[in-house]
């Protein structure tokens, strides 16, 4: 599976290193390439639940739009709060007041 997304803004070299090291550690990771600000992530099929959950966390942590991940919104991860477009709303849905 290939996922294309607009890469994040990094504020320090360590920030960039942590992002890519997390991507490299994904269970379904195969390859990542960049073209300008766009990143192309290649994952093994089928993409496992752990990889999908970690991608959601990565995308939210680095403020990347989760829309490119929507094909992975199935089964066990479909109801995850991080799919919500408004994280404040997602916290309220879980009862985090």
DSSP state of 82: G
Structure tokens at 6: 């607009």
Alpha-carbon distance of 26 to 21, in angstroms, equals: 9
Structure tokens at 94: 């879980």
Structure tokens at 15: 């920030």
Query: What are the φ/ψ torsions at residue 15 (nearest 5 degrees)?
Result: -60, -50
The answer to whether residues 82 and 57 touch, using CB atoms and an 8 Å cutoff, is: yes
Number of domains in the chain: 1
CATH number at residue 6: 3.30.70
Query: Range of 71's domain?
Result: 2-94
Structure confidence by residue, pLDDT tens digits, 47-94: 999 999 999 999 999 999 999 999 999 999 999 999 987 665 545 555
Structure confidence by residue, pLDDT tens digits, 3-60: 999 999 999 999 999 999 999 999 999 999 998 889 999 999 999 999 999 999 999 9
């Amino acid at each position: 599976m290939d996922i294309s997304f607009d890469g994040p803004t990094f504020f320090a070299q360590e920030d960039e290193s942590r992002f890519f090291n997390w991507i490299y550690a994904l269970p379904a990771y195969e390859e990542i390439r960049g073209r300008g600000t766009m990143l192309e992530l290649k994952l093994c099929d089928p993409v496992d639940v752990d990889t999908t959950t970690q991608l959601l966390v990565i995308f939210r942590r680095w403020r990347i739009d989760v829309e490119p991940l929507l094909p992975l919104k199935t089964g066990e991860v479909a109801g995850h709060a991080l799919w919500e477009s408004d994280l404040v709303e997602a916290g309220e849905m879980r009862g985090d007041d």
